[in-house]
Structure 1
Amino acid sequence: MRKSLAVLVSGYALAGLAHAMAPAAPEPDAPRTAPQAYAGLGVGLVDYSGGGSKASPKLFGGYEFTNKLALEAGGIDFKKGYGLYIAVKPTVPLTEKLSVYGKVGVAKSRREILPIAALPAAPLVRKNDTGAYGAFGLQYSITPNTVVTAEYERFGKKKESGAKEDVWTLALKFFF
């Protein structure tokens, strides 16, 4: 019993010493200044030619060099295809927690086009497109490591059928 108690007290003493020697943690609401990686999950509202709008999942990740510049890559499921992008993301802080940002990069998208009604047995046509990617939005820091974003994205040039190029997205971003 004495040995167990001695080990327990020693363990607490070592943990306290390690905590005392650790560098001070930043203030909870302090802006991030060190480079950090992040990942996020969102839902995009995608318009379809003749089919209305549908919610589609979006995954993204990036590296924030400063709180004003990041490099981001991501993808969204268009149900009948997908959209991928890589972009530079400059950010302008408006307050301690609220920022506005833009993204400029390149996107690759693939869409499956349904056959013409007169030819129901025709196979699906796949359209690939590589073009410009752009976005702008707002982000709000819930905690130092969690951010909610709302943005408008444009994947390439105008599409004649299938998923349209314009997407509205709401997402959560986590720093690690």
Structure 2
Amino acid sequence: MKKLIIALVAGTTLMGVAQAQTPMMQRPYLGVGIATADRIQSLGGDGDWKAGFKLFGGYEMSDTLGIEAGWVDFGEEDYTVLTGGVANRVESDGESFYVAGRMNLPINQQFSAFGKLGISHNRAEQTASLSGFNRKDRDTHLYAGVGAQFKLSEQIALSVEYERFGKKQDFGPKPDVFTVAARYNF
């Protein structure tokens, strides 16, 4: 056990020394994207994919580690459900806020893979006009994402990613989201 502790301390020290000798790329960034999520329409309707809007920002503490926060508006959706032979108009809406640690894996000068892990606060709402049905759900869940990024320049990058905003709900957007984004590094 003592050997393991000594090895961990020595390894951590060596990693710290090696990292101190490499220049750190500390910089903030902002980004925008299009996030697509499938819908759950519990009142008898079929779900479909809907594009929404994403804003995010972060801070890279090094080439490999950073922190990111963002907001995703999953967009509104209207659909009609027959209830007792009468058409009932249903509106569905959802959004999420998240904060996550981000780990980058540089492949070469322009291309990198990344993973994110954190928490998200999700909101879903569904309203049926004819029946007066209204339900809301707000909850906090584990957030995770994986993706790839391509640098067009030192300031501009494009990315694609898969994000998971917690668990599946009874209505509103599903937690599986595919995002295409652009970001600007300051």
Range of TM-score over shorter length: 0.7 to 0.9
Aligned counterpart, 1:158: 168
Aligned counterpart, 1:63: 59
Aligned counterpart, 2:43: none
Structure 2 contact 119–141 (Cα < 8 Å) conserved: yes
- SS in structure 1 opposite 2:130? coil
CA distance in 2 between counterparts of 1:78 and 1:173 reads 19
Q: Deviations over 1:32-88 (max 9, x none)?
A: 832000000000111111230011000000000011111000010022121110000
Aligned counterpart, 2:29: 38
CA distance in 1 between counterparts of 2:99 and 2:48 reads 27
Aligned counterpart, 1:82: 95
Deviation of 1:159 (Å):
1.5
CA distance in 2 between counterparts of 1:100 and 1:114 reads 40
Structure 1 contact 129–156 (Cα < 8 Å) conserved: no
Structure 1 contact 88–104 (Cα < 8 Å) conserved: yes
Higher strand share: 2
CA distance in 2 between counterparts of 1:78 and 1:98 reads 28
- Counterpart of 1:105 (choices 118, 128, 132) is 118
- Say yes or no: does 1:149 pair with 2:159: yes
Gaps of 5+ in 2: 1-22, 41-45, 76-92
Aligned counterpart, 2:109: 96
CA RMSD of aligned residues (A): 1.4
- SS in structure 1 opposite 2:61? strand
Q: TM-score when scaled to structure 2?
A: 0.73
Deviation of 1:99 (Å):
0.4
Structure 1 contact 109–130 (Cα < 8 Å) conserved: yes
Aligned counterpart, 2:68: 72
Deviation of 1:158 (Å):
1.4
CA distance in 2 between counterparts of 1:124 and 1:154 reads 26
Structure 2 contact 36–74 (Cα < 8 Å) conserved: no
CA distance in 1 between counterparts of 2:59 and 2:48 reads 34
Identity over aligned pairs, percent:
35
Deviation of 1:122 (Å):
2.2
Structure 1 contact 93–99 (Cα < 8 Å) conserved: yes
How many residue pairs get aligned? The number is: 142
Query: Where in structure 1 do 4 or more consecutive aligned residues deviate above 4 Å?
Result: none
Deviation of 1:121 (Å):
2.3
